[in-house]
Chain A
């Protein structure tokens, strides 16, 4: 294995991005909206296409704005269809993002002659290349992706820090939040904007796989390990950072074991997150599969474990 400064930056960027995604991801998982990250990452295509058609360049500010607006619109349309059509939220999400993606494809095809805009390259941004794109900041050359993801992480931390109580309340009991005067609708859209901006910032720099995985898997891991929202946020961030580090290590080491040349860091980060989840799934002190089996072996099965037994079979 050959560790260079590049690898350090990749791990740092991966960790920043993973942590930035895991924070809003906790609230998505609690609100049964885990698939939002995937929906947004597909639905931003028309935003990118329109931004490109208007400005004519692939300058990242315009593209970022277009994508972020499309992401927020995804959340907005999903909410409208859920409300006015009385439709299951998953279905509404699916309709919105497939339609937006199709519109994006058509827009790109219309301008295909002079456009170098491949939906594939939007969805597969490469974390391996991020250290090459640097900007000078206070005498240091910092990768742009590190800066972007760092800012997003900071923003998410500040918003969740300031509105922790309100977000918690509206996630568990939106009606109570409304009656107490905290608009659950406003908080919903705030969260969705947070998710949209985080998703777009992250996949524009590191690719969509990391984003989708980090929005869901570390929060799900944390949910298996604790029943407390604050602890859940912390565990999710730790799991996300751990996945980023081990994922990149795995990308360097694993292909050699299997006799291949190389692999992608983003895919391996998702796999690492999945493995961490599996560990929690097996050994969680509350409901790990093995923990439960061990406990049942030690003492007489009581009514509670008998219940979980029937559920598991």
Chain B
């Protein structure tokens, strides 16, 4: 178990051995978070997956060419160049399929992934039998190990990660347009194909350096997980980019540090799991689009809707009961409520409980209910909103009075004060002297029994 001093040392990059690894995974996480955000918005998240598989034939061919020229074949720049070129060929194939057939992105990606990977495996086996060079370990040479990073690798990673992050920021507006409405972008004269290719070139660059330094699975996860997690925290693109970069960087930093402290854990896997945990937290708890806050909002809204339905039903019952045109707050039988809406007795009991907690009901004789003072006020307000909206729909939307009830039912709960006063001005020639205008359609009898 490492002690506190060691932990702090690794996290603050003071440990020479782990500094490079932690720094480069952090940088890579930031770059991949930025580039991946655009992929996510273009619904092409799995592009990194397809691309990383598509680099394999390039590696094999570059190896064969270098051996044929008399080298050992294991020169990193040469292999990276081969990987990049074949990645670009993969992207080109994908775009060509996309633009000349009606096959969709996922099929194009799957095609490139499987066929290029198959070609790669086949050609790798072929070049392994070349005389004069041993290709053993060629795959792990290119699909590297994080722990064995040297200074030169670090330089490559930081330069490429820095440049692609910069490019993302420079072309922010153009990429944004491309992501949200490429048809509009094309009609406004933007070179969408060029922008698409530029974006995919950035993805290729990040994927290739990531492959070499941290491994295949990690690159795929880096391009997908942080942007998807960031999407839960905001509805706007620019904040999303920064959050994605932050989450990517944080998972690279934490994951690499964690794996440096416990030598038997492979860095790539730990980073993926840290990113996945950050994703899970975002998915569940992020206030804007997280699952739990969203569910809470939905439950609140449903309760409000139920309560307002209950109060309006009660008001309409009182209205029918009223003898001289004045609606008074008096107790009425519980059974009347059941007839007003399609409530089951169980549902009604639950809604009554909510209303009681809100202080809308007073204690009354068993079998009857009575609204409280605030409940009665709320009930007349809910009914008034409903009637206003109904009248508006009849007047301006030409909806038949017999059909207007359902339509108003769906909207009345979200009528704000501003909208209500607007409705009042629109409908001011109707008799609004009454606190609650009369129903524009006949009310159903209070009880079906």
Residue of A nearest to B274 (CB): A102
A105: contacting residue among B45, B119, B232, B266, CB under 8 A:
B266
A263/B122 contact (C-beta < 8 A), A33-B106, A38-B49 known: yes
Bound CA–CA A86/B288 (angstroms): 12
User: A95: CB under 8 A from chain B?
Assistant: yes
Contact with A along B223-247 (1 / 0, CB 8 A): 1110110011000000000000000
User: B103: CB under 8 A from chain A?
Assistant: yes
User: B127: CB under 8 A from chain A?
Assistant: yes
A242 nearest CB across to chain B (Å): 15
Bound CA–CA A277/B115 (angstroms): 10
Q: Is the CB of B114 within 8 A of A209?
A: yes
* A-B pair number, CB within 8 angstroms: 202
Q: Is the CB of A270 within 8 A of B118?
A: yes
Q: Is the CB of A102 within 8 A of B269?
A: yes
A263/B125 contact (C-beta < 8 A), A81-B283, A274-B111 known: yes
Interface of B is mostly: helix
Q: Is the CB of A99 within 8 A of B273?
A: yes
Bound CA–CA A215/B171 (angstroms): 37
Bound CA–CA A289/B102 (angstroms): 12
Which chain A residues border B130 with CB–CB below 8 Å? 260
B97: contacting residue among A85, A212, A281, CB under 8 A:
A281
A88: contacting residue among B43, B232, B279, CB under 8 A:
B43
Contact with B along A67-94 (1 / 0, CB 8 A): 0000000000000010011111011111
B106: contacting residue among A32, A95, A311, CB under 8 A:
A32
Which chain B residues border A268 with CB–CB below 8 Å? 118, 122
User: A188: CB under 8 A from chain B?
Assistant: no
B221: contacting residue among A99, A124, A270, CB under 8 A:
A99
A102/B273 contact (C-beta < 8 A), A224-B103, A263-B126 known: yes
Q: Is the CB of B118 within 8 A of A267?
A: yes
Place the interface of chain B in its size category: 35 or more
Bound CA–CA A100/B368 (angstroms): 58
Q: Which residues of chain A from 9 to 42 have any CB-CB distance to chain B below 8 Å in the complex? A: 29, 32-35, 37-38, 42
User: A273: CB under 8 A from chain B?
Assistant: yes
Q: Which residues of chain A from 152 to 170 have any CB-CB distance to chain B below 8 Å in the complex? A: none
Place the interface of chain A in its size category: 35 or more
A95 nearest CB across to chain B (Å): 5
A311/B283 contact (C-beta < 8 A), A95-B224, A267-B119 known: no
Which chain A residues border B121 with CB–CB below 8 Å? 124, 209, 264, 266-267, 270
User: B353: CB under 8 A from chain A?
Assistant: no
A84/B221 contact (C-beta < 8 A), A98-B272, A271-B115, A274-B111 known: no
Q: Is the CB of B129 within 8 A of A95?
A: no
A105/B269 contact (C-beta < 8 A), A110-B264, A261-B129, A281-B97 known: yes
A216: contacting residue among B107, B227, B266, CB under 8 A:
B107
Which chain A residues border B117 with CB–CB below 8 Å? 209, 212, 267, 270
Q: Is the CB of A102 within 8 A of B276?
A: yes
Which chain B residues border A273 with CB–CB below 8 Å? 114-115, 118
User: A147: CB under 8 A from chain B?
Assistant: no
User: A60: CB under 8 A from chain B?
Assistant: no
Bound CA–CA A268/B120 (angstroms): 10
B191 nearest CB across to chain A (Å): 12
B118 nearest CB across to chain A (Å): 2
Residue of A nearest to B118 (CB): A270
User: A287: CB under 8 A from chain B?
Assistant: yes
Which chain B residues border A99 with CB–CB below 8 Å? 221, 225, 272-273, 276
User: A59: CB under 8 A from chain B?
Assistant: no
User: B149: CB under 8 A from chain A?
Assistant: no
Contact with B along A261-285 (1 / 0, CB 8 A): 1111011111101100100010000
B92 nearest CB across to chain A (Å): 14
Which chain B residues border A95 with CB–CB below 8 Å? 221, 224-225, 228, 276, 279
B225 nearest CB across to chain A (Å): 5
Which chain A residues border B82 with CB–CB below 8 Å? none
A154 nearest CB across to chain B (Å): 24
Contact with B along A30-61 (1 / 0, CB 8 A): 00111101100010000000000000000000
Q: Is the CB of A98 within 8 A of B99?
A: no
Q: Which residues of chain B from 23 to 68 have any CB-CB distance to chain A below 8 Å in the complex? A: 40, 43-46, 48-50
User: A255: CB under 8 A from chain B?
Assistant: yes
Bound CA–CA A103/B270 (angstroms): 8
Known: A91-B224, A106-B273. 15 other contacts (CB 8 A): A34-B106, A88-B40, A88-B43, A90-B44, A90-B45, A95-B228, A106-B266, A106-B269, A212-B114, A217-B111, A223-B103, A261-B126, A262-B125, A273-B118, A281-B97
By Cβ-Cβ distance, the 9 closest A-B pairs, closest first, are A270-B118, A267-B122, A274-B115, A213-B114, A102-B272, A98-B221, A34-B110, A216-B110, A94-B224
